[in-house]
Amino acid sequence: MAEINVVPYIDVMLVLLIIFMITAPLLSQGVDVELPRLTSEPMVPEPDNPPVVISVDRDGNYYIAFGGDTLMDQEKPVPAQVLVNRVAALLKYAAEQNRPKTRVFVKGDKNVSYGHVVTLMSMLQNAGVEGVGLITEPPVEQQ
């Protein structure tokens, strides 16, 4: 009888399915921020030069992420002075890695006070950031 026993393959497939089902929710990270919806040109990501993303939630709390990775705990709010120190350190680290054009983006909740965003941009300027990009979401099409 020359048949292939597929039972071990099914077992491995089910184990992998369970592993992926458990790890998939952990891959989506970030702060729940309701971004304003505007039409803008999408930016092309640079895989060799990840951006620094600062999020501001509706309560005015600041969160920091670097290149999509969680080199820093993005789930916890960061005090203002710590934010300035971390951004300055990230820019210094990027310059040491021959990436002086590291971009800094701000994700501001549409319900956050304008003063919080302006304060954040001032703090980023004090940290040595030359330019800041603002992240938005595309508008919802009306049908």
| pLDDT given at position 49 | 74
Domains held by the chain: number: 1
CATH number reported for the structural domain that contains residue 130 in this entry: 3.30.420.270
Question: Does residue 94 fall inside a structural domain?
Answer: yes
CB neighbours (10 Å) of residue 22? 9
- Please check whether residue 111 lies inside any domain of the structure: yes
Percent of the chain topping pLDDT 70:
76
pTM tops 0.85, yes or no: no
Listing from the earlier edge strand, what are the strands of the sheet with 62-66? Answer: 62-66, 52-56, 104-108, 132-134
Domain that includes residue 99, residue range:
52-134
Residue type at position 54: I
How does pLDDT run across 27-60, given as a tens digit for each residue? Answer: 655 556 665 666 666 666 666 777 888 888 888 8
